[in-house]
Amino acid sequence: QLTNLTTLDLSNNALNGKIPERLGGLYRLQGLNLAHNELSGGIPPELGNIASLVKLNLTHNQLTGTLPDA
């Protein structure tokens, strides 16, 4: 498990599909960078569960909707 992970940078990897809801279980995550991929769909509300998240970069994807409430 990656429960102690604090930073996850998967930018510029040509990732496609939806953002996995399971990322919302990374409770210690402070930085998440998924920019410059081919992600689509909505931003999962589970990301709002990450109270420690201070940096989020989802730019240059095909995402829709709004950011979830924290």
Q: What are phi and psi of 61, to 5 degrees?
A: -130, -175
Helix, coil or strand: residue 35: coil
Q: How far apart are the first and last CA of the chain?
A: 23
Structure-derived torsion over alpha carbons of residues 13, 14, 16, 18, reported in degrees to the nearest 10? 40
pLDDT, greater one: 12 or 66 = 12
For residue range 3-50, list pLDDT tens digits in order: 899 999 999 999 999 999 999 999 999 999 999 999 999 999 999 999
CA 7 to chain centroid, in Å, comes to 11
Q: What are phi and psi of 25, to 5 degrees?
A: -90, 0
With cut-offs at 50, 70 and 90, classify the pLDDT of residue 68.
Answer: confident
